[in-house]
Chain A
Amino acid sequence: MSGAEFWIVQALNGLQLSMLLFLLSVGLTVIFGLMHFVNLAHGALYMLGAYFGVAMVSATGQFWLALIVAPIGVMAVGMGLYQALIRHMRRQGPMNQVLVTFGLIFVLVDLVRILWGNVGLGISVPELLHGPVQLFGISYPAYRLFIILLGLAVMLALGLVLTRTAIGAMLRASVENAAMAATMGINVERLLLWVFALGCALAGLAGVIAAPVFSATPSMATDILIPTLIVVVVGGLGSLRGAVLGSLTVGFVQTFGAVLVPGLASLLIYALLAAILILRPQGLLPARQ
């Protein structure tokens, strides 16, 4: 492996991590921006996505089916939570929201532990995505390339919906000024529910695609929470572009931190968080200026 190849591979590693973080943070940041709601249980939904994927693959052997069914399952769980709990917590202030959704993490993690146990479970990927592939003379895991492509596709689709469709315009209007949007005839409440559902589905998607790489464990619910919250803070609340920039920044800082200054690898994203909070507390690209 030559010098240039080494850095390309590391850039791909950074991109792969960024895409996972993006899938998780985009739902969280839009829910934040639109509903002013702090959903710490987002990480638990990511974990559920992974376990639903494991269950699907072990029952049917179909990875592609799991890729579709697991996010839908997580979306159903998310909507159930919304109707039963979160809807009533909307106007209760951040402290109550944090406590309730933090409690939800423990409930969901223990349920998973009872159902699937503590030992990490893997998903075997289709033959097509197995092992490394040669790309312009560089060897790189096929599955990681798949994560990058899937993340880019989701990014592009969300971007198009947000900027080119009527629903996207309604959503942007609601984030900008919910009261005004409502007087203009937009059903903000129903929009919120669907945005929440989509956010949950994306968290579930992130979970099922992460399972073959990181294996599904109960601790993934809390492990991913801090990096995701950092992405949201760095990118700025409520905006798609913020989530994109935030996840790329965090993904690359983590990857290249590990390569260049291994001793400080775990510290760097916190330093980044502190720097952003001091220099630009609203985040790099917030929805509202």
Chain B
Amino acid sequence: MKTTVRTVTAALFAAALISQAAFAETKAGLLLPKSGNYAALGEEIDAGVVLALEEAGMADDIRLVREDSEAKPPVGLAKTRKLVLQDNVDVLIGIVSSAVLGAVRNFVDGAGVPLIVANAGNVDATGKDCSASIFRVSFSNAQLNRPMGTWMAGQGIGKVYTLAPDYAAGHQMIEAFISAFEAAGGEVIGSEFTPFGKTQDFGPWLSKVGASEADALYVFYAGGEANSFLSQYRAFGMGETVPLYGPGFITSPLQTAAQGEAAVGIRSALHYIPSLDTPENNSFIAAFTARFKRQPSEYAVQGYDAARVLIEAIRVGASGRAEIAAALPGVRYTGPRGPLQIDPATHNIIQNIYIYETVMSDEGITQKLLDTVENVRDAANGCDLR
């Protein structure tokens, strides 16, 4: 009797181990900031990842190992090493800050671990420093700002002043905007960068813009800085004199509830807005709202798509680092943001860019679509991974 019990127990134990092995096949490291200016973004991307896994019924097949990058390059690199060397993950997902992406690029490239970037737009990572291991399903810093430069010049806006935080993303976004805007006939009369993560008072810069001849102000601010910048811009009463434009992180749907009236009237560009009326987006919003009791933002979609491309790759049979990396460039589908595919040449996403205005409707703040620039693809900048 005793032996039988022992045997049965052992068999059960073995069976449990086997089923564990059969289902937890892929281990994914999720590297996102959980503190600092970008903490809210990290949380939102995490929610998107969770939704995609649950929707595909693969929450047990893809095991997540979470780490906090603190949006700081040295911390991000240390955590990436830990995920790859100690946890032995098959794939990395995440990274919000362009500076962190720049810092981990060489290590990820050398280790051959596929990295699916869920936010950081660092253009070099899919341009001159591109890697066979780095894929991006969010946006590149140039991808959002180039169409906006052309569009604003087309609206007859002549003189523009620019402001952005002083780090990789700020410089790349503004650079892309300026080259497109000037090529289309516009003029940039002032361009300044505020200390990143250290600027709470934008007053001195706003006063400088107010004193200039600018017809419009073009800014990139995201996360916590977006809210404080916007409220200070409104307090200086610049809404009537110097209208505000920029990549749409300034009025991200993640933040418009806290911003209230201050967000209304701002025109900006993003790769996803919640008001897109497509079947894919409507069902995504319904699922996200049911699961998290709040409206999704572009960050949630980035997390969702980062997990979804991995799921698609696993569904076509990929397992392990090399196979996943090989399968990712072939992935294409129509998701909440519209059609998307990974460019085989650079591994950056090809997607629509939506130019929109934040407006007040009966149900609260929403986005009015002004223009769609279809299938925006970045120049290869010397990168060819085919």
Query: Which A residues are within 8 Å of any B CB, using their own CB?
Result: 1, 5-6, 9-10, 13, 16-17, 109, 113, 117-122, 124, 131-132, 139, 141-144, 210, 212-215, 217-220, 223-224, 254-256, 258-259, 262, 265-266
Q: Report the separation of the CA atoms of residues A212 and B201 in the bound assembly, to the nearest whole angstrom.
A: 12
Set of chain A residues within 8 Å of B200, measured between Cβ atoms:
210, 213-214, 220, 223-224
Chain A, Cβ-Cβ closest to B223: A120
Q: Is the CB of A131 within 8 A of B235?
A: yes
Set of chain B residues within 8 Å of A224, measured between Cβ atoms:
200
- Is B2 among interface residues, defined by CB-CB distance under 8 A? no
Q: Report the separation of the CA atoms of residues A254 and B192 in the bound assembly, to the nearest whole angstrom.
A: 16
Q: Is the CB of A119 within 8 A of B254?
A: yes
User: Apart from A119-B40, A262-B192, what 11 extra A-B contacts exist at CB < 8 Å?
Assistant: A16-B203, A118-B43, A119-B254, A119-B258, A120-B224, A120-B258, A122-B231, A131-B235, A213-B200, A219-B35, A265-B195
Query: Which B residues are within 8 Å of any A CB, using their own CB?
Result: 35-37, 39-40, 42-43, 166, 192-195, 197-201, 203-205, 207-208, 210-211, 223-224, 227-228, 231-232, 234-237, 254-255, 258-260, 262
Contact of B39 among A118, A131, A143 (CB under 8 A): A118
Q: Is the CB of A141 within 8 A of B211?
A: no
Set of chain A residues within 8 Å of B203, measured between Cβ atoms:
13, 16-17, 144, 255
Q: Is the CB of B194 within 8 A of A265?
A: yes
Contact of A144 among B208, B211, B235, B258 (CB under 8 A): B235
Q: Report the separation of the CA atoms of residues A17 and B193 in the bound assembly, to the nearest whole angstrom.
A: 19
Q: Is the CB of B204 within 8 A of A218?
A: no
Chain A, Cβ-Cβ closest to B237: A132
Q: Is the CB of A120 within 8 A of B228?
A: yes
Knowing A118-B40, A119-B258, A218-B39 are in contact, say whether A13-B204 is a contact too (CB < 8 A). yes
Q: Is the CB of B231 within 8 A of A213?
A: yes
Q: Report the separation of the CA atoms of residues A128 and B43 in the bound assembly, to the nearest whole angstrom.
A: 36
Chain A, Cβ-Cβ closest to B204: A258
| Residue of B193, B205, B258 with most chain A CB atoms under a 10 A cut-off | B258
Q: Is the CB of A131 within 8 A of B234?
A: yes
Set of chain A residues within 8 Å of B227, measured between Cβ atoms:
120, 122, 215, 217
Q: Is the CB of A10 within 8 A of B235?
A: no
Set of chain B residues within 8 Å of A215, measured between Cβ atoms:
224, 227-228, 231, 258
| Chain A to chain B: the 9 pairs with minimum beta-carbon distance, closest first | A266-B195, A132-B237, A13-B203, A141-B235, A118-B40, A258-B204, A118-B39, A120-B227, A215-B227
Q: Is the CB of A219 within 8 A of B211?
A: no
Chain A, Cβ-Cβ closest to B41: A118
Chain A, Cβ-Cβ closest to B255: A119
Chain A, Cβ-Cβ closest to B206: A13
Contact of A213 among B40, B228, B258 (CB under 8 A): B228
Q: Report the separation of the CA atoms of residues A215 and B257 in the bound assembly, to the nearest whole angstrom.
A: 13
What distance in Å separates the Cβ of A11 from its nearest Cβ neighbour in chain B? 10
Contact of B193 among A119, A143, A255, A262 (CB under 8 A): A262
Knowing A121-B258, A213-B231, A219-B39 are in contact, say whether A255-B237 is a contact too (CB < 8 A). no
Q: Report the separation of the CA atoms of residues A139 and B193 in the bound assembly, to the nearest whole angstrom.
A: 24
Set of chain A residues within 8 Å of B43, measured between Cβ atoms:
117-118
Contact of A13 among B36, B166, B194, B201 (CB under 8 A): B201
Q: Report the separation of the CA atoms of residues A117 and B237 in the bound assembly, to the nearest whole angstrom.
A: 29
Q: Is the CB of B235 within 8 A of A213?
A: yes
Q: Report the separation of the CA atoms of residues A134 and B198 in the bound assembly, to the nearest whole angstrom.
A: 30
Set of chain B residues within 8 Å of A142, measured between Cβ atoms:
235
Set of chain B residues within 8 Å of A214, measured between Cβ atoms:
200-201, 228
| Residue of B208, B231, B237 with most chain A CB atoms under a 10 A cut-off | B231
Knowing A117-B40, A141-B236, A144-B203 are in contact, say whether A223-B198 is a contact too (CB < 8 A). yes
Set of chain B residues within 8 Å of A218, measured between Cβ atoms:
35, 39
Q: Report the separation of the CA atoms of residues A61 and B189 in the bound assembly, to the nearest whole angstrom.
A: 42
Q: Report the separation of the CA atoms of residues A5 and B211 in the bound assembly, to the nearest whole angstrom.
A: 9
Q: Is the CB of A219 within 8 A of B224?
A: yes
9 contacts between A and B (CB under 8 A): A119-B258, A122-B260, A141-B232, A143-B235, A213-B232, A214-B228, A219-B37, A224-B200, A266-B166
Chain B, Cβ-Cβ closest to A251: B201
Q: Is the CB of B210 within 8 A of A1?
A: yes
Q: Is the CB of A212 within 8 A of B224?
A: no
Q: Report the separation of the CA atoms of residues A113 and B224 in the bound assembly, to the nearest whole angstrom.
A: 14
Set of chain B residues within 8 Å of A117, measured between Cβ atoms:
40, 43
What distance in Å separates the Cβ of A204 from its nearest Cβ neighbour in chain B? 17
Q: Report the separation of the CA atoms of residues A262 and B237 in the bound assembly, to the nearest whole angstrom.
A: 23
Q: Report the separation of the CA atoms of residues A224 and B197 in the bound assembly, to the nearest whole angstrom.
A: 11
What distance in Å separates the Cβ of B48 from its nearest Cβ neighbour in chain A? 15
Set of chain B residues within 8 Å of A131, measured between Cβ atoms:
234-235, 237
Set of chain B residues within 8 Å of A262, measured between Cβ atoms:
192-193, 205
What distance in Å separates the Cβ of A152 from its nearest Cβ neighbour in chain B? 18
What distance in Å separates the Cβ of A162 from its nearest Cβ neighbour in chain B? 28
Set of chain A residues within 8 Å of B204, measured between Cβ atoms:
10, 13, 255-256, 258-259
What distance in Å separates the Cβ of B293 from its nearest Cβ neighbour in chain A? 12
Chain B, Cβ-Cβ closest to A210: B200
Set of chain B residues within 8 Å of A258, measured between Cβ atoms:
194, 204-205
Set of chain A residues within 8 Å of B201, measured between Cβ atoms:
13, 16-17, 213-214, 254-255
Q: Report the separation of the CA atoms of residues A255 and B206 in the bound assembly, to the nearest whole angstrom.
A: 12
Chain B, Cβ-Cβ closest to A2: B211
Q: Is the CB of B198 within 8 A of A120?
A: no
What distance in Å separates the Cβ of A34 from its nearest Cβ neighbour in chain B? 28
Knowing A131-B235, A215-B231 are in contact, say whether A266-B207 is a contact too (CB < 8 A). no
What distance in Å separates the Cβ of B282 from its nearest Cβ neighbour in chain A? 24
What distance in Å separates the Cβ of A95 from its nearest Cβ neighbour in chain B? 24
| Residue of B36, B203, B254 with most chain A CB atoms under a 10 A cut-off | B203
